[in-house]
């Protein structure tokens, strides 16, 4: 066994004010959440560069009381050198890197921690969102510090703990079971796509109508040929450019794909997820995996394993907790036929990006048209609290029984609850926060939620589509 104690290192930045959409805890409450780790880990507050006692460390360290074992000064340097120096600093504290964690909102420091042998976890603070594009694709991401703490307690060996669950999940899929698993978009509820009895369980568990087709997930583009009769040149270009990623292609299916997967259509929706654990699950199961979102049908989609368990507890065979979904909104579904490129469902890949590959792109079919794409029914993605969609939510800001879902910070004071999708007006950040924000407002016992439309370009097209399908109506009663 490796010598030394296990530890969790926390960059001082993860104690900054929580992101408005998370509704997360205040710094002192976040520190209190660390108490459960003390039985198994020493806790060190890590200070980078200017984060000295006058630069942000003093507050969290003082708030932690006797929770922290001490301070770990972080060395300066480039990535490789920083990893070496960080490893030396960790070992000087008597800590073994194996089984220890480093929690931060800075991609450079997470990369250095991984290079030093620690398990790096990334928190989506405002800075974390801003720098998310620089983060390595396989790093675990969390909405807030308490979520990361819960994950550490459930996964003491880090990625090795997750790998063990993935292996069990693959075995469950091979024997006809259901597995909830993370993707970069939302969590999916998966079954062997070639086993109609297993797929039928998805519809039963979710109470999903049989006329709503499923997406089939593959671990490698080469696996698509066994599912479809034709891959048009434009589809190959899109696969080369955007896979793995949040793009689903609707293509003519082979007879081997059961009709229950496609709702009787002659086409099948196929995608290759970017999430490492999703692809590992599919590869180990040795079969394509059919999966809709892992939630009760018509309700808000899950972007964490906890969201899944809140709605489907006990209804799946395994659940793989891969942290928070980075994109946070379902994939874009695209049909290619007769030289046309048609967006059947807006999603995590913006139409502008698709146009760069295919040229002209036709935007979505009318609401409620359904058809060969999932997620196209008129009512979908809805919270339990009635939701109304408006262009300007300011008239409802003085009502304490109303929750406001806003794109950016409100211009003035608000009496009720507010969830802000992106204080700086970033549509990618807004998409990643959408379902988390809806869930937070939905838990507050409000009379209704008033959501503002976001700018109708880029990922704003998908966000407005989800809000339009989640809404209860267009008229808000004043009484």
Categorize the per-residue pLDDT at 25 as very low, low, confident or very high, splitting at 50, 70 and 90: very low
Give the whole-angstrom CA distance, residue 125 versus residue 110: 14
Alpha-helical segments (H) within 74-143: 79-92, 107-115, 126-130
* Phi, psi dihedral angles at 406 (to 5 degrees): -115, 150
pTM attached to this predicted model: 0.90
**pLDDT tens digits, residue range 144-186?**
898 999 999 999 999 999 999 999 999 999 999 999 999 999 9
The share of the chain scoring above pLDDT 90, in percent, equals 67
Select from 255, 214, 232, 459 the least CA-distant residue to 335. 232
Q: Which CATH architecture has domain 387-470?
A: 3-Layer(aba) Sandwich (3.40)
**Cβ pair 288, 217 in contact under 8 A:** yes
Predicted confidence (pLDDT) at residue 334 exceeds the cutoff of 50: yes
Predicted confidence (pLDDT) at residue 32 exceeds the cutoff of 60: yes
Predicted confidence (pLDDT) at residue 361 exceeds the cutoff of 50: yes
Tokens of 130: 């801003």
Categorize the per-residue pLDDT at 72 as very low, low, confident or very high, splitting at 50, 70 and 90: confident
Categorize the per-residue pLDDT at 79 as very low, low, confident or very high, splitting at 50, 70 and 90: low
pLDDT recorded at residue 180: 98
In CATH, the number for domain 162-358 is: 3.90.870.10
List the beta bridge partners of residue 125: none
Quick one: 136 exposed, middle or buried, by C-beta within 10 A (0-12, 13-18, 19+)?
exposed
Which of 65-69, 92-96, 401-405 is the least confident region?
65-69
> If you count them, how many residues does the chain have?
479
Categorize the per-residue pLDDT at 50 as very low, low, confident or very high, splitting at 50, 70 and 90: very low
Question: Can you tell me the mean pLDDT for 196-215?
Answer: 95
Predicted confidence (pLDDT) at residue 54 exceeds the cutoff of 80: no
Give the whole-angstrom CA distance, residue 207 versus residue 210: 9
pLDDT recorded at residue 61: 52
pLDDT recorded at residue 478: 52
The domain 7-157 having CATH identifier 3.40.50.1700: the answer here is: no
Q: Where are the domains of the chain?
A: 7-157, 162-358, 387-470
- Within this chain, domains 162-358 and 387-470 share the same CATH topology: no
Collapsed DSSP state (helix, strand, coil) of residue 7? strand
* Phi, psi dihedral angles at 451 (to 5 degrees): -110, 140
């Amino acid at each position: 066994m490796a010598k030394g104690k296990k530890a969790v290192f926390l960059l001082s930045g993860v104690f900054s004010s929580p992101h408005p959409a998370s509704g997360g805890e205040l710094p002192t409450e976040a520190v209190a959440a660390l108490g459960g780790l003390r039985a198994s880990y020493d806790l060190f507050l890590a200070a980078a560069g200017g984060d000295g006692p006058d630069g942000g460390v003093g507050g969290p360290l003082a708030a932690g009381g006797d929770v922290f074992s001490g301070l770990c000064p972080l060395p300066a340097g480039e990535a490789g050198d920083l990893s070496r120096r960080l490893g030396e600093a960790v070992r000087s504290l008597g800590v073994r890197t194996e089984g220890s964690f480093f929690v931060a909102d800075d991609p450079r420091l997470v990369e250095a921690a991984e290079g030093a042998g620690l398990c790096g976890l990334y928190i989506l603070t405002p800075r974390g969102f801003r720098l998310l594009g620089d983060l390595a694709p396989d790093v675990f991401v969390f909405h807030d510090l308490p979520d990361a703490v819960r994950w550490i307690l459930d996964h003491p060996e880090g990625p090795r703990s997750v790998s063990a669950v993935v292996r069990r999940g693959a075995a469950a899929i091979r024997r006809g079971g259901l597995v909830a698993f993370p993707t970069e978009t939302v969590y999916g509820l998966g079954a062997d796509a070639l086993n109609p009895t297993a797929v039928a369980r998805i519809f039963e568990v979710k109470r999903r109508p049989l006329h709503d087709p499923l997406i089939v997930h593959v671990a490698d583009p080469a696996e698509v040929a066994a599912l479809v009769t034709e891959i048009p040149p434009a589809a190959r270009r899109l696969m080369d450019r955007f896979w793995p990623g949040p793009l689903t292609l609707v293509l003519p299916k082979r007879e081997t794909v059961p009709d229950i997967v496609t709702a009787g259509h002659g086409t099948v929706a196929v995608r290759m997820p970017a999430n490492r654990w999703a692809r590992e699950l599919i590869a180990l199961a040795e079969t394509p995996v059919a999966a809709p979102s892992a939630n009760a049908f018509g309700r808000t989609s899950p972007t964490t394993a906890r969201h899944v368990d809140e709605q489907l507890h006990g209804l799946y065979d395994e659940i793989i907790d891969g942290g928070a979904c980075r994109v946070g909104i379902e994939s874009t579904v695209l049909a290619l036929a007769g030289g046309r490129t048609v967006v059947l469902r807006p999603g995590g890949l913006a139409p502008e990006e698709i146009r760069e590959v295919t040229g002209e792109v036709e935007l979505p079919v009318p609401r409620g048209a359904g058809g060969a794409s999932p997620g196209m029914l008129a009512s979908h993605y809805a919270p339990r609290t009635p939701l109304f969609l408006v262009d300007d939510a300011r008239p409802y800001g003085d009502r304490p029984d109303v929750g406001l879902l806003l794109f950016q910070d409100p211009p003035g004071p608000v009496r009720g609850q507010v969830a802000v999708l992106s204080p700086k007006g970033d549509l990618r950040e807004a998409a990643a926060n959408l379902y988390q924000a809806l869930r937070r407002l939905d838990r507050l016992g409000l009379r209704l939620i008033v959501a503002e439309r976001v700018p109708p370009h880029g990922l704003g097209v998908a966000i407005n589509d989800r809000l339009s399908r989640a809404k209860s109506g267009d008229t808000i009663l004043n009484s």
